[in-house]
Amino acid sequence: MKLYYSPGACSLSPHIVLNEAGFNYEVERVDTASKKTEKGADFFAINPKGYVPVLALDDGQILTEGPAIVQYLGDQKPASGIVPKAGSMERVRTQEWLNFITSELHKGYSPLFRPTTPDEYKKIARENLAKRLAILDKHLAGKQYIMGDKFSAPDAYAFTVLRWSQYTGVDLSSFTNIKAFMERVAARPKVQEAMKQEGLLKG
């Protein structure tokens, strides 16, 4: 299988999961501005949506959307614990958090990256994000990871999205549980491996 990614984008989440679950895979970088891959392919021909992540399966199928990709990967490697068993309440809770991250956090950061977003709106976006971050910070109290003591798919996604704070002026200093969580995830060898592969860490 092959992961199409852009360094530090939301594709970092399935990249981390691929490493944590022990997959053999290839990667190909995508220039999100030109919509060309590093091998010169038209990215729109691969994913008409025009954005990463994309997971190309060995049978030729294409998967898009990060939360769907990480659940698919977890199901292929159930012993990894990346996602709980389908049909269990733990699986539903995992999906609950993946949905919260994608709709309330991921999309909350998006306007902060756009140069055309008015400053007044960016202020509102940061205020809204702070409310959502407070929910996550409270949830993480007394926990190692989002689902408890074991690393799983929501952790990879949350870590990826929360990293964007340093580029968007979102202040995490008051969220002590989130800060500890970020340090904990960043210290994981497989997370560091993915970040080095994307050029986000010097290896």
Its pTM surpasses 0.85: yes
Strands (E), 40-129: 54-56, 62-64
- Cα(86)–Cα(43) distance, integer angstroms: 32
User: Would you state the structure tokens that stand for residue 34, as one six-digit string?
Assistant: 């030109």
pLDDT of amino acid 132: 98
Neighbouring C-beta atoms of residue 179, cutoff 10 Å: 15
Q: Is 7 helix (H, G, I), strand (E, B) or coil?
A: coil
- What ranges do the domains of the chain cover? 2-81+190-197, 89-188
* Topology, domain 89-188: Glutathione S-transferase Yfyf (Class Pi); Chain A, domain 2 (1.20.1050)
Question: Tens digits of per-residue pLDDT, 175-187?
Answer: 999 999 999 999 9
pLDDT tens by residue, 138-175: 999 999 999 999 999 999 999 999 999 999 999 999 99
The Cα 198–Cα 193 span in angstroms is 9
Res 203 pLDDT > 70: no
Contact indicator for 55, 1 with CB cutoff of 8 Å? yes
pLDDT at 130 over 80: yes
Confidence band for 70, pLDDT divided at 50, 70 and 90: very high
Cβ proximity of 66 and 157 under 8 Å: yes
Pick the CATH number of 2-81+190-197 from 3.40.50.10800, 3.30.70.870, 3.30.420.40, 3.40.30.10: 3.40.30.10
